[in-house]
């Protein structure tokens, strides 16, 4: 065996692998005003926070000012409940009463990783002794704030290190196409949307949308026009839709730096974008918008979202709205909003489904 063959035969090829836990953390602040007026509502009676979303699941805080049971009547009882009707959600929680400056106080408890479902919750029936809490500086002007931090365990990710072979980078086709849209090179059609111009490429639009295909290569008049006006879509919405067509993803509405998109409410943008996706038959974009709206449901926007779901036959979004309002307390709060009033005005028969 020559020296080259010996070198190959004695190679020591070592691979490594590692497991990382994938987590998503979110917080919710629940402020209780007029604390003294909540006392006396009765043992086992609770006041609920708004429903909030972490890790794709909906949660709420339940505050029992007179205690959860008779054994807890001299304590503040607090529960954290999983509202979503799912099983086996693993999460770690921390409950903290905040100081007046917003910093954590020593009245804080953390749970180990627990499994939640629609029945199992995290109950701190003796979270804080009432006399000690009322004598503390955390209660000021008859108000205090509870901070709930939820860390959802989404699973594990395997990472493998391979010291040999060719490392193939991930595809960047979507970024290349997004850059093409941004540069306008080779563009052969221009859309005028509320006074703004957007250059694009007919072939890409037609490949991604059956509606654009019919407009740009069918018998419609747009086939012969290089400049096409669009009157029924807002410019930021059309821009986001074009970005999706080229990149197969949506821009981050919450961190955008464009002047026209500043302070854009992500839920409102998702509503408008869903309407545009429905018009141009972009099914994946429509589902992305539905998912974003499901995750951002709250008392103030549920009526408007349900109206939108009804108008555009979004069955999953509609079901999530009904599920969100399944609690009598949440339904009463939603029913007082302008969005719900408009919903009943346009679709009065929907009351039979709620």
CA 124 and chain centroid, separation: 27
Place 334 in a pLDDT band, splitting at 50, 70 and 90: very high
**Residues composing the chain:** 354
Per-residue pLDDT, 3: 53
Residue 57: strand pairing partners: 54
DSSP notation for 22-61: EEEEEEEEEEE-SHHHHTTS-TT--EEPPPEEETTEEEEE
State the pairing for strand pair 189-193/227-230.
Answer: parallel
> Averaged over 131-153, what is the pLDDT?
93
Instruction: Judge whether residue 101 has pLDDT over 80.
Output: yes
- pLDDT above 70: percentage of residues in the chain: 90
| pLDDT value of position 46 | 92
pLDDT at residue number 143? 93
**Please, how many CA atoms are within 13 Å of residue 55, restricted to the half-sphere of its CB?**
25
pLDDT band at 133 (very low <50, low <70, confident <90, very high): very high
Of the spans 114-128, 270-284, 319-333, which averages the highest pLDDT? 270-284
Give the CATH architecture of domain 173-352. Answer: 2-Layer Sandwich (3.30)
225-250 pLDDT, tens digit per residue, is: 889 999 989 999 999 999 999 999 98
The full set of domain ranges for the chain reads: 17-158, 173-352
Q: State residue 169's pLDDT score.
A: 81
Whether the pTM exceeds 0.85: the reply is: no
> What is the rounded average pLDDT of the residues 171-180?
92
**How far apart, in whole angstroms, are the C-alpha atoms of residue 37 and residue 33?**
9
Domain 17-158, CATH among 3.40.640.10, 1.10.3720.10, 3.30.565.10, 2.60.210.10? 2.60.210.10
Structure token digits, residue 199: 């250059």
Q: What pLDDT band is residue 124 in, cutting at 50, 70 and 90?
A: confident
Alpha carbons 241 and 236: distance in angstroms, whole number: 9
Q: At what angle do helices 283-295 and 302-311 cross, to 10 degrees?
A: 160
> What integer is the mean pLDDT of 57-85?
92
Which token pair is 337? 């909003």
Instruction: Confirm if 98 and 116 have CB atoms less than 8 A apart.
Output: no
Provide the mean pLDDT of the chain. 87
Output the pLDDT for position 192: 96
Whether the predicted pLDDT of 345 surpasses 50: yes
């Amino acid at each position: 065996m020559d020296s080259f063959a010996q070198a190959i035969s004695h190679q020591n090829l070592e691979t490594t692998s590692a497991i990382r836990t994938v987590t998503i953390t979110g917080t919710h602040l629940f402020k209780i005003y007029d604390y003294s007026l909540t006392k006396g509502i009765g043992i086992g009676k609770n006041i609920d926070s708004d429903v909030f979303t972490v890790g794709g699941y909906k949660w709420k805080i339940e505050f029992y000012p007179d205690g959860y049971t008779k054994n807890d009547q001299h304590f503040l009882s607090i529960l954290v409940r999983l509202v979503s009707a799912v099983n086996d959600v693993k999460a770690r929680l921390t409950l903290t009463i905040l100081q007046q400056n917003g910093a954590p106080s020593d009245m804080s408890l953390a749970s180990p990783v627990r499994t939640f479902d629609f029945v199992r919750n995290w109950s701190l029936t003796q979270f804080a002794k009432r006399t000690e809490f009322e004598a503390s500086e955390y209660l000021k002007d008859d108000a205090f704030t509870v901070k709930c931090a939820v860390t959802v365990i989404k699973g594990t990710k395997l990472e493998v290190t391979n010291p040999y072979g060719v490392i193939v980078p991930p595809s960047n086709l979507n970024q290349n196409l997004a850059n093409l849209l941004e540069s306008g090179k080779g563009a052969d059609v221009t859309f005028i949307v509320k006074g703004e111009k957007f250059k694009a490429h007919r072939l890409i639009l037609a490949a991604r949308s059956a509606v654009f295909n019919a407009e740009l290569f069918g018998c419609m008049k747009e086939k012969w026009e290089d400049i096409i006006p669009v009157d029924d879509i807002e410019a930021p919405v059309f821009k986001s839709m074009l970005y999706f067509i080229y990149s197969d993803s949506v821009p981050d509405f919450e961190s955008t730096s464009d002047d026209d998109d500043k302070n854009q409410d992500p839920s409102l943008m998702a509503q408008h974008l869903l309407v545009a996706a429905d018009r141009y038959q972009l099914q994946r974009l429509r589902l992305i918008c539905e998912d974003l709206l499901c995750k951002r449901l709250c008392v103030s926007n549920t009526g408007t979202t349900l109206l939108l779901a009804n108008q555009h036959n979004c069955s999953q979004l509609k079901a999530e709205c009904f599920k969100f309002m399944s609690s009598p307390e949440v339904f009463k709060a939603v029913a007082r909003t302008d969005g719900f009033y408009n919903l009943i005005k346009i679709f009065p028969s929907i009351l039979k489904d709620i």
